[in-house]
Amino acid sequence: MHIVVIGAGAFGAWTAHHLQTRGAHVTLVDVYGPANARASSGDESRIIRCGYGDDLIYAQWARRSLGMWRAVFERIAAPRAPLFHPCGVLWLADGDDAYTRVTATSLQGEEFPVEILEPQALRRRFPHIEGPDVRFGLFEPDCGVLMARRAIQSLVADLEERGVRVLRARVTAPDSHRSQGRRGDSLTQVKTADGSVLAAEGFVFACGPWLPKVFPQLLAGIIRPTRQVVIYFGVPPGDARFGPAQTPAWVEFAAGIYGVPDLEARGLKVGLDRHGPPFDPDAGERVLDVASIETARAWLRRRMPAMADAPVSESRVCQYENTATGDFLIDRHPDFDNVWIAGGGSGHGFKHAPAVGEHVAGLVRGTGEPETRFTLATKDTAPRRKVY
């Protein structure tokens, strides 16, 4: 069975991995190459946590994915350049943070490793993190940070060694018959921009923010790419407090801020978890704006005062590609019985990629069942974010 997977980001690479391990012949295609600078998987790092309020499917998929990430890394990663840093993830509950409280209860109920740090314990554990207004900290000790760009590039290189064909090409949209109301057709081939043909028995489109461009009639307004920024701040000279041995990854939902310790001497990473303006992944200018720097600095002044005047060492402008609720979109194309779409993951999906790929591979092979909340039938265009 030959399957073409379009998109060599986190969802596409892991779908190719699971299909290949189940005996399929796989071609993996990406328009700019795996984990390229325009890709949602192209930044240095991504947090992996299991906490998701009371939304257990994401918690369970994250825990399963963490095991699969680590198993693959043990085989393909160089010891001196780890692809996972188990620094833990710290949630800062500021004020009446109901979401973090529910998360703590859910993780404890599922017997996930978790620690509740009251203010005094939080100060003892992380004295360089200020939190006079923090009610408690929720710490996930087994979680941490994935080295996103290198992880995807290493996984795709491993796939090539195992026989997966990897191509750099732009795949054009397959002809759709939605206006005629036809259903049940099988797609036999897709074409690339240079006129080449890729014939296969099945196709998976996992091309992230490019999905609305590939399927504009089907996904316009359902998958929405938005501009997002992350900023790296240089740590003080000779100061080891902000590395992964003393600083965890963190999330503070009330502030809309998350971050990653100083990994591989790149700097302390601060991300703004709020949907930015619409963004074109091909043509969008990836230049940082002053307002985002000031927002990040204001958070550092409040929570990590030793970093208040730190210089910006690097920055990234990438994109989320979310559905209206933040739920994934994983479903069969309504016109083609052998075409699947996997997307809507940016912002939180990187950590889940191994479980997503496993799920998609099962659907393609006919051994899995669709998850109702991820289907097209549940998607609309009215923003009501509920997954964080």
Domain range annotation of the chain: 2-43+149-223+325-378, 87-146+226-322
For 322-375, what is each residue's pLDDT tens digit?
A: 999 999 999 999 999 999 999 999 889 999 999 999 999 999 999 999 999 999
Pairing mode of beta strands 257-260, 249-252: antiparallel
CA distances in angstroms from 41 to 132, 171, 285, 309, 354, listed in the order given:
35, 19, 17, 29, 14
Which pLDDT does position 383 carry in this prediction? Answer: 85
Domains 2-43+149-223+325-378 and 87-146+226-322 share a fold: no
Q: Are strands 25-30 and 2-6 parallel, antiparallel or unpaired?
A: parallel
Residues 6+ apart with CB under 8 A from 51: 59, 89, 91, 100, 103, 104, 106, 107, 114, 138, 140
**pLDDT tens series, the chain, 388 aa:** 999 999 999 999 999 999 999 999 999 999 999 999 999 888 999 999 999 999 999 999 999 999 999 999 999 987 788 999 999 999 999 878 899 999 999 999 999 999 999 999 999 999 999 989 999 999 999 999 999 999 999 999 999 999 999 999 999 988 754 434 445 689 999 999 999 999 999 999 999 999 999 999 999 999 999 999 999 999 999 999 999 999 999 999 989 999 999 999 999 999 999 889 999 999 999 999 999 999 999 999 999 999 999 999 999 999 999 999 999 999 999 999 999 999 999 889 999 999 999 999 999 999 999 999 999 999 998 888 888 8
Contact (Cβ atoms closer than 8 angstroms) between residue 20 and residue 26: yes
pTM for the full predicted model = 0.95
Q: Is 74 left (phi over 0), alpha (psi -120 to 50) or beta?
A: alpha
pLDDT for position 179:
37
Sequence-distant (6+) residues with CB within 8 A of 171 are 6, 29, 31, 190, 191, 192, 193, 198, 207, 214
Strands 339-343 and 329-332: antiparallel
Domain 2-43+149-223+325-378 top-level CATH class: alpha beta
87-146+226-322 in CATH: which number?
Answer: 3.30.9.10
- Cα dihedral sign, 49-204-279-344: negative
Going from the C-alpha of 120 to that of each of 123, 125, 199, the distances in angstroms are 5, 9, 62
Residue whose C-alpha is closest to residue 326's, from 239, 283, 244, 388: 388
Structure-token match 């019985």, residue found: 337
With 0-12 / 13-18 / 19 or more C-beta atoms within 10 angstroms meaning exposed / middle / buried, residue 378 is middle
Distances (CA, A) of 46 to 221, 375, 385: 26, 26, 20
3-state secondary structure the chain: CEEEEECCCHHHHHHHHHHHHCCCEEEEEECCCCCCCCCCCCCCCEEECCCECECHHHHHHHHHHHHHHHHHHHHHCCCCCCCEECCCEEEEEECCCHHHHHHHHHHHHCCCCCEEECHHHHHHHCCCCCCCCEEEEEEECCCEEECHHHHHHHHHHHHHHCCCEEEECCECCCCCCHHHCCCCECCCEEEECCCCEEECCEEEECCHHHHHHHCHHHHECCEEEEEEEEEEECCCCCCCCCCCCCCCEEEECCCCEEEECCCCCCCEEEEECCCCCECCCCCCCCCCCHHHHHHHHHHHHHHCHHHCCCCEEEEEEEEEEECCCCCCEEEECCCECCEEEEECCCCCCHHHHHHHHHHHHHHHHCCCCCCHHHCHHHCCCCCCCCCC
157, 199 in Cβ contact below 8 A? no
| Token pair belonging to 107 | 């993780």
